[in-house]
A and B are shown apart, each in its own frame.
Chain A
Amino acid sequence: MSAQLAAAATLSAGTSTGEAVQFWILGTVAVIGALCTVFMKRAVHSALCLAGTMIILAVFYLANGAYFLGVVQIIVYTGAIMMLFLFVVMLVGVTAADSLKETIKGQRWLALASGLGFGILLIGGIGNASVSEFTGLGQANANGNVEGLASLIFTKYVFAFEITGALLITAAVGAMVLTHRERTERARTQRELAEQRVREGKYLPPLPAPGVYARHNAVDIAGLLPDGTPSELTVSKTLRERGQVRDVSTDALDDLKALEQRAEERLERGAVAPATFKRSEEASK
């Protein structure tokens, strides 16, 4: 308790040099993380960068004397919400790469310009504020941060707190209603699927294995057709949509070319043959 009070006392005294150093280092990292969230191409990378930014914000909350919020930020935001995002990215994200085609002409530049203008407006507005010193939370946190928050939540803000409970229940029910899907028709059996394939005459035998006639049989290497071109059918649909198919169809030809070249160098052909040809040409003159 005495350590807590000491910490509260330092908080009330204003900011220390250590806090300034922490602010500038972690603040830079937070801004970089936020920029990466916006500009990373894959949604998974964006989610991880955002998680990093949120952890840094949690450190800032702790530094500002919001001990409860700092811990809640890590547990609820980084632990629960970002992991929920990652689950949905895994469910959805395989094919969800951003299309780079602009549907509205010049939208990206307009968005960047308006974002810049908004930022200048906001930061200019804050620049006009006359804030010189923290009052500090020493008095408010005197009985502990959690106790202080609790005494406010259950007296002054108790109505908002109860409404929040209703909101959470509504959200849970809403999520269940939105994602629940009633199966209205009977699932087709294997026999019916086979009959459908025969009727449509699409592709009757089982799909070919990956790596047939290629030099490796890894799952991400397409099997080769007799003429040496890779066959899309041999690689699973997920890998194809992620664009993770490795093409080794030209490797065999390249190896052969390298072998021929080495054999020619060994036999000292190539450089010598044109010279003899030239000499014979000169001789004929």
Chain B
Amino acid sequence: MNPVNYLYLAALLFTIGATGVLIRRNAIVVFMCVELMLNACNLAFVAFSRMHGNLDGQIIAFFTMVVAAAEVVVGLAIIVSLFRSRHSASVDDASLMKL
């Protein structure tokens, strides 16, 4: 099997995630699509790491995971506080900074 197949899969997953961010209006689902994009990048990094025979790609993927965890915590807190003030998780309703 050609190693480039892993890159194709990563590109496909990234594209699906990006399309989801554009299409969906529920903030939680948009956020999940962002996570999908991050995971696709991680897959590409791990495949690169094996292609070049060193572990730097895996280190980058590891840091991506840590940043994603921090991002999820803050993002979900923002969604919860938005939901409290607007009673909706739709990204259309959050067009103004204040109520």
A-B contact pairs, 5 of them (CB 8 A): A65-B50, A96-B28, A112-B23, A115-B22, A134-B53
Contacts of B54 in A (CB 8 A): 140
CA distance A92 to B22 in the complex (A): 21
- Judge if A131 is at the interface, Cβ distance under 8 Å: yes
The answer to whether B47 and A64 touch across the interface, beta carbons within 8 angstroms, is yes
Q: Which residues of B contact A (CB under 8 A)?
A: 1-9, 11-20, 22-26, 28-29, 31-33, 35-36, 39, 42-43, 46-47, 49-56, 58-59, 61-63, 65-74, 76-81, 83-84, 87-90, 92
Given contacts A80-B69, A85-B32, A129-B7, contact A98 B55 (CB under 8 A): no
The number of residues on chain A lying at the interface, defined by a beta carbon within 8 Å of a beta carbon of chain B, is 89
CA distance A139 to B50 in the complex (A): 11
Contacts of A77 in B (CB 8 A): 35, 39, 65, 68
Interface residues of chain B: helix, strand, loop or mixed (majority): helix
The answer to whether A69 and B46 touch across the interface, beta carbons within 8 angstroms, is yes
CA distance A127 to B5 in the complex (A): 10
Contacts of A126 in B (CB 8 A): 4, 7-8, 11
Q: Which residues of A contact B (CB under 8 A)?
A: 11-12, 15, 19-20, 23, 27, 30-31, 34-35, 37-38, 43, 46-47, 50, 53-54, 57, 60-61, 64-66, 68-69, 72-73, 76-77, 80-81, 84-85, 88-89, 91-93, 95-99, 103, 107-108, 111-112, 114-116, 118-119, 122-123, 126-127, 129, 131-141, 145, 148-149, 152-153, 157, 160, 164, 167-168, 170-172, 174-175, 178-179, 181
Given contacts A80-B69, A84-B73, A160-B63, contact A37 B36 (CB under 8 A): yes
Given contacts A20-B1, A73-B65, contact A134 B50 (CB under 8 A): yes
CA distance A141 to B58 in the complex (A): 12
Contacts of A134 in B (CB 8 A): 3, 50-51, 53
The answer to whether A46 and B67 touch across the interface, beta carbons within 8 angstroms, is no
The answer to whether A171 and B74 touch across the interface, beta carbons within 8 angstroms, is yes
CA distance A64 to B29 in the complex (A): 29
CA distance A138 to B52 in the complex (A): 11
Contacts of B66 in A (CB 8 A): 164, 167-168
Given contacts A115-B15, A122-B15, contact A69 B62 (CB under 8 A): yes
The answer to whether A88 and B26 touch across the interface, beta carbons within 8 angstroms, is no
The answer to whether A131 and B22 touch across the interface, beta carbons within 8 angstroms, is no
Contacts of B50 in A (CB 8 A): 11, 64-66, 134-137
**Smallest CB separation, B90 vs chain A (Å):** 6
Contacts of A53 in B (CB 8 A): 13, 36, 39
Given contacts A72-B65, A96-B28, A96-B90, contact A38 B80 (CB under 8 A): no
The answer to whether B2 and A149 touch across the interface, beta carbons within 8 angstroms, is no
The 5 closest A-B pairs by CB, nearest first: A115-B19, A135-B53, A111-B22, A119-B15, A171-B70
CA distance A123 to B90 in the complex (A): 32
Contacts of B28 in A (CB 8 A): 43, 46-47, 85, 88-89, 92-93, 96
The answer to whether A181 and B11 touch across the interface, beta carbons within 8 angstroms, is no
CA distance A66 to B62 in the complex (A): 10
The answer to whether A175 and B74 touch across the interface, beta carbons within 8 angstroms, is yes
Given contacts A38-B23, A168-B70, contact A92 B83 (CB under 8 A): yes
**Smallest CB separation, B27 vs chain A (Å):** 8
The answer to whether A98 and B65 touch across the interface, beta carbons within 8 angstroms, is no
Partner of B73, one of A23, A89, A175: A175
The answer to whether B22 and A98 touch across the interface, beta carbons within 8 angstroms, is no
Contacts of A46 in B (CB 8 A): 28-29, 32
The answer to whether A92 and B89 touch across the interface, beta carbons within 8 angstroms, is yes
